[in-house]
Amino acid sequence: MLQISFLHNQVKAQQLFKNFCGENFGKVYCSCGSGCNPQYTRNVQLLNSKFKGPGLTLISLNQNYGDSNTFSNIVLDGMNSGNTKIKYACQEYAATTQSVSTLSPLASFVPTVAGTGKSCKYSTSAIKINS
């Protein structure tokens, strides 16, 4: 699996990604978690988009800065194969202004379960799973 982020946000923003597709990724969207000073609240909307793994997560957010997400009409292909599966729909982290080599997630939500975290909030109907 490639350990890259398609979209990495280091600024204060509300971002909308619509009609996006991707395959073979680490993360689709990553809110800056380490070394960004100052840190900001970020909101990301991922709409009408399709993905195929292998992939780690669709969105990673900073719980301690109040990041939030919206999923709508997301399609995940290849979920029955370990070679093309996407492990998580959303992960939450505690961001820091210090540069660190790794951050461990505080919470991780799989695509078949509703996101019920502080930042990762979505219903199961927002994500369609294809085999």
CB 32 within 8 A of CB 9: yes
Residue 36 pLDDT level (bands cut at 50, 70, 90): confident
Q: What is the full DSSP assignment across 33-55?
A: -BS-SS---EEEEEEEEEEEEEE
β-pairing verdict for 115-116 and 121-122: antiparallel
How many residues are listed for the chain in this entry? 131
pLDDT of residue 11: 63
Q: What is the model's pLDDT at position 75?
A: 98
Instruction: Report whether pLDDT(8) > 90.
Output: no
Q: Quick one: which of 101, 74, 76, 104 has its CA closest to 92? A: 104
Query: Looking at residue 62, what is its pLDDT?
Result: 92
CATH class of 5-129: mainly beta
Q: What is the pTM of this model?
A: 0.88
Q: Give the residue-averaged pLDDT of 18-47.
A: 88
| Tokens found for residue 9 | 């946000």
Question: What is the C-alpha to C-alpha distance for residues 61 and 107, in angstroms, rounded to an integer?
Answer: 10
pLDDT at 99: 74
Q: Is the pLDDT reported for residue 1 higher than 70? A: no
Q: Which two tokens stand for residue 74?
A: 């997301």
Residue 34 has pLDDT above 80, yes or no: no
* Statement: residue 98 has pLDDT above 90: no
- Across the range 53-72, mean pLDDT stands at 94
CA pair distance 62, 68, nearest whole angstrom? 8
**Over the stretch 105-118, which tens digit does the pLDDT of each residue have?**
999 999 999 999 99
| Calpha distance 38→108 (Å, rounded) | 25
In whole angstroms, give the CA distance from residue 112 to residue 114. 7
